[in-house]
């Protein structure tokens, strides 16, 4: 290839950089098709970097990554009477967590939960807590029984269906799990 051919191939690329960048914009188009896909967004600047903010009525969890910037994830939240709100901290983190329904869950729906009341369910792909769980603790260090966790029902994202916990798609909760340390503040509205 001579210099003339090389220049003829290079000049269009220099004059039309947007054509080269078009490939990097494709994920944004995908995110628009899925409103619950992880997306970087602006957030109020008064939330501390690293914190987690959940807006239950909108079905979004925000992980603050810089002043005024967060990654927004779609979530499922508690049914109307079971929405938990408040401030907590991540007190424990578990990969492929085991699960045991709370006594209140068993009382509300014994046909569904009684079989797990005594021994629970070991962690794994069929466990309702999914791939990861962040356990929320109150200001006194007590477990709130509220979790931010994965799910075996990814189509539940964007709905009020849980017993109070905050569900995420498994790939999303794995990403969040890897980024937040124990002690991370969590605000649920």
Q: Of 159, 163, 160, 89, nearest to 128 (Cα)? A: 163
Q: Of 94, 138, 141, nearest to 120 (Cα)? A: 94
**Beta carbons of 82 and 163 less than 8 angstroms apart:** yes
Calpha distance 129→78 (Å, rounded) = 14
**Beta carbons of 144 and 137 less than 8 angstroms apart:** yes
How many CA atoms within 13 Å lie on the side-chain side of 40?
7
Which residues are annotated as catalytic? 149, 165
């Amino acid at each position: 290839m001579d210099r003339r051919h090389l220049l003829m191939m290079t000049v269009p690329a220099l004059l039309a950089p947007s054509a080269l960048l078009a490939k990097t914009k494709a994920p944004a188009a995908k995110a628009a098709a899925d409103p619950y896909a992880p997306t970087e967004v602006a957030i109020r600047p008064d939330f501390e970097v690293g914190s987690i903010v959940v807006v239950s009525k909108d079905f979004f969890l925000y992980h603050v990554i810089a002043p005024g910037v967060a990654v927004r994830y779609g979530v499922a939240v508690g049914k109307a009477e079971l929405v938990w709100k408040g401030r907590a901290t991540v007190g424990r983190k578990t990969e492929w967590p085991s699960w045991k329904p709370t006594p209140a869950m068993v009382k509300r729906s014994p046909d569904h939960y009684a079989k797990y009341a005594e021994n629970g369910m070991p962690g794994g792909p069929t466990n309702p807590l999914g791939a990861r769980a962040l356990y929320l603790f109150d200001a006194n260090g007590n477990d709130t029984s509220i979790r931010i966790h994965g799910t075996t029902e990814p189509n539940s994202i964007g709905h009020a269906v849980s017993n109070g916990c905050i569900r995420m798609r498994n790939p999303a909760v794995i990403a969040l799990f890897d980024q937040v340390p124990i002690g991370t503040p969590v605000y649920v509205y």
